[in-house]
Chains A and B, each alone.
Chain A
Amino acid sequence: MEISRNWRLRYQRYKLEGTKCMDCGNVSFPPRRVCPKCGSENYATKALMPTGEVYSYTLVTSPPEYFESQAPYPVAMVKLDDGPLVSTQLTDVNYDAIRIGMRVEMVTRKLRAYGKNGLIIYGYKFRPEEAKDGN
């Protein structure tokens, strides 16, 4: 059921909430109940640092349902400063300006809307860390 699935995902979508293994320190995003590194089930939830860098990227020109109105849009794997790789849309950037290693920050944006009557889903996207220095 889409509504309840979206609702359960809100902490990771709004706050980049992941898990930290209390035994080996490994940080996971999305959250994992079992540490993929050491197999421990001893974890704590943690809002990850909202910054990282572009690891790889591409342009989506044939989007899935409900994403059509935003196409074409860039998607990327972003390596968070806390470690995990996250698959995400990039926003507030021209495709030509994207570079591997570019510093990016998390923003909460509209991911999609289920038509005119349905829910609007918000979640993380990443944009260049540009607001800070104003260029």
Chain B
Amino acid sequence: MKVRNAFVKGYGVAIPRYRIKDEAIAKNWGSSRGPIEEKAVAGLDEDSTTIAIEASRNALRRAGIDGEKIEVVFFGSESKVYAVKPTATIIAEAIGATPQVSAADFEFACKAGTEAMKCCTAYVSSELADYALAVGADTAQGRPGDELEYTAASGGAAYIFSREPENAIASVDEMYSFTTDTPDFWRRPEQKYPMHGFRFTGEPAYFKHVTMAAIEIMNSMGASPKDFNHVVFHQPNVKFPQNVAEDLGFTKEQIGYGLLSGRIGNTYSGATPVGLANILDHAKPGEKILAVSFGSGAGSDAIAFTVMDGVEKKRDLAPSVESYIARKVYIDYATYLRFRGKIDMGD
């Protein structure tokens, strides 16, 4: 679907400073290594709410507006801190957007963040709001010993949309979603760790949805892979996005900036938005970007952007993705267990 009059005015990320090497997790379970190098781990006082607030403040800095201008706050996550009580209200209050603001939390496994971005785009494009904030952030958990433990990571990104092209970072050009009922991954209420239907995780889930969303948005635009300078796919590991890129005909260069899972892990609702932020940290005006998320359950959002002149003076107004990745502190497996609440403190 073609999008008119919607622009990215600000973006920002937050990635916790702690890292654990896959090697340190693997050693604990008697194997040699995991599917990525290392992943970002939230500290004792961090959660999806604090990551979302930090990313939102960075997005506001780049947008150059006060929080009170924000009229919509949509938060996408699968690690909300309350089962009932919105995180979006905490974010809205922290940035000063309350009380004249529409706010809600979205859940769609790893694609809740891009769904929030789509809805914010719709709000500004349809003139229902001047400024809309979408945030995707997670502090995802894998059961100790489960394969997800190697990749489930913490981080997030925030995007501010508006109708004004002045000083915009990018235009939103096209959106497409591909969604089916597929039981590849789920978590019941009150359960700490998710379950996955192993036969569904690869082909019928990730690959089918990401591929269909990418093909359909390109069809709708009359475009092909060579028309994009950069592409980011959801990244539950490093292999899946590499394979889907190759199958679709994208090069290693095109996925270069967007693919961060090897160094920070899978930040779930944050994954595609953080990869997109790293592209914006590096892209030149006029370049075309394709972002394709994936959320289990299952669906993919594809969004196409064109980078605009504003990117060059806006990007230095908040910390880059690389600066967040660089300020890392390694922790061992015992510290990781404590940080992630996997030790029974008797409370």
A residues in contact (CB < 8 Å) with B: 10, 14-15, 47, 68-70, 89, 91-92, 94, 107-111, 115-116, 120, 122, 125, 130-135
Contact = CB atoms under 8 A, between A and B. Distances in A.
B115 to A, nearest CB: 24
26 contacts: A10-B93, A15-B94, A15-B96, A68-B345, A69-B345, A91-B43, A94-B329, A107-B50, A107-B54, A108-B50, A108-B53, A108-B54, A109-B46, A109-B50, A110-B45, A110-B46, A110-B49, A110-B50, A115-B347, A120-B47, A120-B49, A122-B49, A122-B94, A131-B323, A131-B327, A135-B326
Interface of B: 17, 43-47, 49-50, 53-54, 81-82, 90, 93-94, 96, 319-320, 322-324, 326-327, 329, 345, 347
Contacts of A68: 345
Given A14-B94, A116-B347, A134 B327 contact: yes
Contact of B44 (A70, A122, A131, A135): A70
A109 B17 CA distance: 14
A134 B347 contact: no
Contact of B327 (A14, A94, A135): A135
Residue of B45, B47, B94 with most chain A CB atoms under a 10 A cut-off: B45
B199 to A, nearest CB: 35
Contacts, number: 63
Contacts of B93: 10, 14
Nearest to A127: B17
Nearest to A135: B327
Contacts of A10: 93
Contacts of B47: 110, 120
Nearest to B81: A120
Contacts of B54: 107-108
Contacts of B17: 92
Given A14-B94, A134-B323, 8 more contacts: A108-B50, A109-B50, A120-B47, A120-B82, A131-B323, A133-B323, A134-B322, A135-B326
Given A14-B93, A69-B347, A120-B81, A109 B323 contact: no
A49 B223 CA distance: 47
Contact of A132 (B44, B323, B347): B323
Contact of B94 (A94, A108, A132): A108
A91 B45 contact: yes
Contacts of A107: 50, 54
A86 B28 CA distance: 43
Nearest to B329: A94
A131 B345 CA distance: 31
A116 B347 CA distance: 7
A95 to B, nearest CB: 13
Contacts of A122: 49-50, 53, 90, 94
Contacts of B43: 91-92
Question: 10 smallest A-B Cβ distances: which pairs?
Answer: A134-B323, A109-B45, A134-B326, A131-B319, A14-B94, A110-B45, A108-B53, A70-B44, A109-B50, A130-B327
A15 to B, nearest CB: 6
B15 to A, nearest CB: 9
B96 A125 contact: no
Contacts of A135: 326-327
Contacts of B82: 120
B259 to A, nearest CB: 20
A69 B43 CA distance: 12
A135 B324 CA distance: 9
Contacts of A47: 96
Nearest to B58: A131
Contact of B324 (A94, A108, A109, A131): A131
Contacts of B44: 69-70, 110
Contacts of B329: 94
